[in-house]
Amino acid sequence: CTHARAHTQEPPKPNTQAKGGTAREIEMKVEVVDTTLVTPSEQTPRHTLWLSNLDLAVPKTHTPLVYYYPAPPAGDGGEKQEEFFAPERLREALARALVPFYPLAGRMATGPEGRLEIDCNGEGALFVVARADFTGDEMFRDFEPSPEARRLLVPFAASGDPPCLLAMVQVTFLKCGGVAVGTGMHHVTMDGAGAIQFIRTWTTLARGLDAASVHPSPPVHDRTVLRARSPPHATFEHPVYSPSNLNGLPRPFVTRVYAVSPKLLAGIKSSCAPGVSTYCALTAHLWRAMCVARGLAPDAESRLRVPANIRQRLRPQLPANYFGNAIVRDLVTVRVGDVLSQPLGFVAERIKRAVARVDDAFVRSVIDYLEVESEKGSQAARGQFMPETDLWVVSWLGMPIHDADFGWGCPKFVAPAQMFGSGTAYVTQAPDKDDGVSVLFALEPEYLQCFEKAFYGE
């Protein structure tokens, strides 16, 4: 990942279709104005950082996110104000944020026996400034994650083999005066909670505040607390990590954003047991709509991949400021006929039980299972090409993804810039909680119309 290659803006490989909406109607272009490597503002530790089995079990890709900030109201013509999203202010804050989060300024490396690790060498994060020939309304009015959105708004660098960049940022000034901030953080460095921890630190510093006002304690980078036991001993079965369960072929897909109003969400929850979580109820509803849309055989088995944050499930608990991947997955297997014919509460309860069983013993078993598999020379499934019967739903509910104020207000919109496989979904909170939640779902285009009818009960 040399400096010159780091911003080639080529989309990743997965087989996808073109973005819908306005991107089909007009050709959008972005001109790169400046590309720099931002190094930590102070001397940082130089060492290699051991990666846990949970770090190594995630897809070896950069996670592309985009934050949209509409143009500010016109000024009153009085005292000259600082430029909206002044790049130098963001660069300086990023350099300061990379002091506590110094692994992000490093590079992926290969350690003893070929195991991936992070070389904390302080070489820096990529910072790109660009100008677009399109407006925020043209891009974000009906935004849909796509390779095109990723190419335009988020830097691209090779991510599979060392050495490679771990953190990339692009500030794109839009034709309307608004700004899009695109981030590409390598997944082996952190999960969603870790990403928010970093973004909140960066934005706090950009506002001229002390980072300790948001995170009183610095991030914890030591991941050895998640080492496998010696000898490793898996006490549960973990088919969700088996490559045999990710044996689907790449299929063309498009991604749509589905608004779930408070009224619709209340109706879905009313079909489940009292106290059901939004994630369990909405995922059950999504699962059923997917089975209907794809016309799956009633006697086929359908599998749902459920992620669980383990920070408070381990004994003792992980530090609240743990910076790394602290997510394990479980698998819920239900006959398609049951997904379709049983009460929605039945499916939601199956999901709830899968999430609830992730405790300390389960997590230790996952870590040991991954250790045994690595010793056998096999690798945990990192791809996302699921069979057509399957579904993967990630929850961002309760995560303050819109808490990203660089000093000019919070973003109006936050979303992945691209999805990486059909059957994957994100459930997110709307910027205004009174507006309900949103579901971003990647599906083959031939199933969209039927899916939408099933999802909205038409």
Question: First-to-last CA distance in the chain?
Answer: 49
Token pair of 402 as six digits: 């819109």
User: Is 402 tagged catalytic?
Assistant: no
**Mind giving me the DSSP string for 174-226?**
-TTS-EEEEEEEEGGG--HHHHHHHHHHHHHHHTT--GGGT-SSPPB---GGG
Helix, strand or coil for residue 257?
strand
Amino acid, single-letter form, for residue 289? A
Q: What does the buried/exposed string (b/e) look like for 215-225 if buried means 16 or more CB atoms within 10 Å of the residue's CB?
A: beeebebebee
Beta bridge partners of 362: none
Residue type (1 letter), 415: A
For Cα atoms 239, 186, 318, give the angle at the middle one, nearest 5 degrees.
65
Is 186 labeled as catalytic in the residue annotation? no
* Phi, then psi, of 63 in degrees rounded to 5: -90, 115
- 198-97-50 Cα angle (round to 5): 65
- In 413-439, which positions are buried (b, 16+ CB within 10 angstroms) versus exposed (e)? bbbbbbbbbbbbbbbbbbeeeeebbbb
Listed in order, strand segments (DSSP E) in 61-110 are: 62-69, 107-110
237 CB-near residues (< 8 Å, 6+ apart) = none
What are phi and psi for residue 453, nearest 5 degrees? -65, -45
- CA 194 distance to own-chain centroid: 11
Cis? peptide before 87, omega within 30° of 0 = no
Catalytic residue among 187, 221, 238, 285: 187
Cα–Cα distance between 55 and 327 in angstroms, integer? 9
Catalytic residue selected from 137, 359, 403, 405: 405
Annotated catalytic residues are 187, 405
